[in-house]
Amino acid sequence: MEFEFSEKGKAEIERLIEIYPSKEAVIIPALHIGQNENGWVSNEVCMTISELLDIPAAKIEGVASFYTMFSRKPKGKYWLMVCKNISCSIMGSEHIINYLEQLLRIKVGETTKDQLFTLDVVECLGSCGTAPVMMINDKYYENLNEPKIEQIINELREKG
């Protein structure tokens, strides 16, 4: 599927090209913008960035594939990232992950049929004092327990 940046996205990339001493340094900010606008980093996103920055698409792809925040697969509207590192595990993240699998009827790594939720586990989110923790898109949800999760999921389902 074709991808074009929005006017705002394009203007932001042009602003960044002026700031950084090299065009290469704009790759990661541009990938963030691309993922925000397209929902995930498709080959077409890489191609469009390649044209804008005049850098080979293979190089853009090479950078995108190194960083876990860039998804090379389509994601649901809400991307749930549950921390599985040590402090969250001590405070019960395994249970949280199981509960989410049950509630969403998907396994870790999968997306619901309605394309609303993708469930993933991630490494430390830097919020260990309020464990267990997950991120949904760019927002933190802390001190998780079953009722809280149910409420969050219900609210997001209603919002659609």
Partner 1 sequence: MNSGKKDKMEKVLLKNIDKPNSYNIETYMSSGGYKAIEKALKEYSPDQIIDIVKKSNLRGRGGAGFPTGVKWSFMPKKSDKPKYLICNADEGEPGTFKDRILLELDPHMLIEGMIISAFAIGARYSFIYIRGEFMLGGKRCETAIQEAKEKGFLGENILESGFNHEIYVHYGAGAYICGEETSLMNSLEGKRGYPRIRPPFPAAYGVFGNPTTVNNVETLANVPHIIEKGVDWYLSIGPEKNNGPKLLSVSGPVKKPGVYEVPMGIPLRKVIFDLCGGMLSGKILKAIIPGGSSTPMLTMDDLDVHMDFDSLAKAGSMLGSGGVIVIDDSFCIVRAVKILTDFYKHESCGQCTPCREGLGWLKRIMDRIENGEGREEDLDLLLDICKDIEGHTICPLADAAIPPIRSSIEKFRDEYLYHIREKECMI
Q: Which residues bind partner 1 (CB under 8 A)?
A: 19, 21-22, 24-29, 31-32, 62-63, 66-70, 84-87, 89-91, 122-131, 135, 138-140
User: Shortest approach of partner 1 to residue 160 CB, angstroms?
Assistant: 23
Q: Which is nearer to partner 1, 134 or 153 (CB)?
A: 134
For residue 24 the two structure tokens come to 């290469």
Q: Which is nearer to partner 1, 16 or 156 (CB)?
A: 16
* Exposure of 6 in the CB half-sphere (CA atoms within 13 A): 9
Q: Which is nearer to partner 1, 67 or 114 (CB)?
A: 67
Distance between CA atoms of 118 and 109, rounded to whole angstroms? 7
Q: Which is nearer to partner 1, 43 or 71 (CB)?
A: 71
User: Shortest approach of partner 1 to residue 63 CB, angstroms?
Assistant: 6
Where b means 16+ CB within 10 Å and e means fewer, 32-63 reads: ebbbeebbebbeebbebbbebbebebeebbeb
User: Shortest approach of partner 1 to residue 130 CB, angstroms?
Assistant: 7
Question: Which one-letter amino acid corresponds to residue 139?
Answer: K
